Amino acid sequence: MSWEPVITALEIVLFPGFLFIFCYALFCEWVDRRIFARLQNRYGPLYTGWKGILQPLADFIKLLAKEDITPGAADKAGFTATPILFLTIPMTLMFLVPVLGPRAIAAFEGDLIVVFFMTTLINLVVFIGAWSATNRFTVVGGMRSALQMLSYEIPLGLAALGPAVLAKTLCISDIAQWEVEAWKSFLAHPTPLGVVTAVVLAFGFALFTLGELAELEKIPFDIPEAETEIVAGWHTEYSGKKLALIRLGMDVELIFGASLMTALFLGGPSGPWPIPPAVWFIVKTLLCVVLISTLRALFARFRIDQVVRWMWKYYVPLAVVYMIAIQALAVVI
């Protein structure tokens, strides 16, 4: 009998599968809240567990126990499906990024395209959920979410395609792998071309981070759920278990965003030998989470029209310039 299927099953369920994603998402929420609080000269979660580390879990459990209200005028199917899809989509995507070793559990050629497709789907789900709740605030929030997606989706895709073009593959695991190889050869024989490539990729990383901020609806792009304007935006009407799923979904999206940044630009879970790849993965993604929470402490919120205008005026052209540079590099290499 082969142990292969058993190990795969364990990987899917325990590590780096569902259990790990669940725990790590909550952990990252805690890190995010702590860092955000410290930047603002306050404590953040403090009492639940060691320095409040269990606070996100406690919030999750508390929400599960709360009354779950579906508005009378809401479209039941859409309203119920949204939180489930909102959590499961990023969770599925987590299987496409390498965590435990050089290859992800479900890696295949072209999974980068699937990732784009699915992240767009998340926005669609948000829009449907917002629309089916029929609340004025959710409708406005849903529309804002869709509008915002139109402005950041293309440059975000371009930024992610950069390393893919250089690595000549559309598999996330392979891109990460290529990056590691490239770094190794660069360190062995430094060339001017290598420096240029690194600079261009660093620029791509900046573009991608900006896009991720918008994707994750973090300040300054938290427009679809701008608290002071439209209450909680598209998830205003959600409560109880559904809200718990949505919040968990957001956390999973956060770590998915961070691990995508890691895989595409930071070489995935690889690192110098004595430390296992899983640890490297955690270190790198945590760095990305810290980066995101620092950035969101630095800005005021944009207005939706400003975002659309600003994105098309600066962000898209920058992404195009970046893509041209990448193409040139690809030809030279």
Helices (H), 221-315: 227-230, 240-265, 277-296, 304-310
Binding-site member from 41, 187, 192, 272 for another protein (CB under 8 A): 41
Per CB under 8 A, the list member of 1, 3, 4, 42 interacting with another protein is: 42
CB-based contact 195:274 (threshold 8 Å):
no
Q: Which of 7, 14, 43, 168 is close enough to bind another protein by CB under 8 A? A: 43
Rounded least distance, CB 269 to another protein, Å = 27
Q: Please say which residue, 185 or 294, places its beta carbon nearer to another protein.
A: 294
Euclidean distance between CA atoms 122 and 84, whole angstroms: 11
Q: Tell me the window of 16-24, 66-74, 181-189, 253-261 that interacts with another protein (CB under 8 A).
A: 66-74
> Are the C-beta atoms of residues 292 and 250 closer than 8 Å to each other?
no
Least gap, CB of 46 to another protein (angstroms): 7
C-alpha to C-alpha distance for 126 and 232, rounded to whole angstroms: 13
- Check residue 301 for interaction with another protein (CB under 8 A): yes
Task: Find all residues with CB under 8 Å of 284, minimum gap 6, and list them.
Answer: 262, 266, 269
Nearer CB in complex with another protein: 145/259: 145
- Any long-range contacts for 166-171 (C-beta under 8 Å, 24+ apart)? 166/197, 166/201, 166/326, 166/329, 166/330, 166/333, 168/330, 169/109, 170/109, 170/110, 170/111, 170/112, 170/113, 171/107, 171/108, 171/109, 171/110, 171/111, 171/112
Alpha helix positions (H), 94-191? 111-133, 136-167, 172-188
CA pseudo-torsion sign 58, 60, 64, 70: positive
Retrieve residue 100's tokens. 């435990």
CB of 131 to another protein, least distance (A): 14
Considering the rule CB under 8 A, would residue 67 count as an interface residue with another protein? no
Residue closer to another protein, measured from CB, 103 or 301: 301
- Does residue 167 bind another protein (CB under 8 A)? no
* Residue 150 binding another protein, by CB under 8 A: no
Q: Mark the segment that binds another protein (CB under 8 A) among 108-116, 178-186, 228-236, 247-255.
A: 228-236
Q: How many residues contact another protein, by CB under 8 A?
A: 36
| The one among 276, 306, 328, 333 contacting another protein by CB under 8 A | 306
From the list 95-103, 111-119, 278-286, 290-298, the region that binds another protein by CB under 8 A is 290-298
Using the rule CB under 8 A, which residue among 14, 46, 275, 333 binds another protein? Answer: 46
| Three-state secondary structure of 183-215 | HHHHHHCCCHHHHHHHHHHHHHHHHHHHHHHHH
Tell whether residue 294 is a contact of another protein (CB under 8 A).
yes
Site for another protein (CB under 8 A): which residue of 299, 313, 314, 324?
299
Q: Say whether residue 313 binds another protein (CB under 8 A).
A: no
Binding site for another protein (CB under 8 A): 35, 37-43, 46, 71-73, 136-137, 140, 219-220, 222-223, 226-231, 294, 297-306
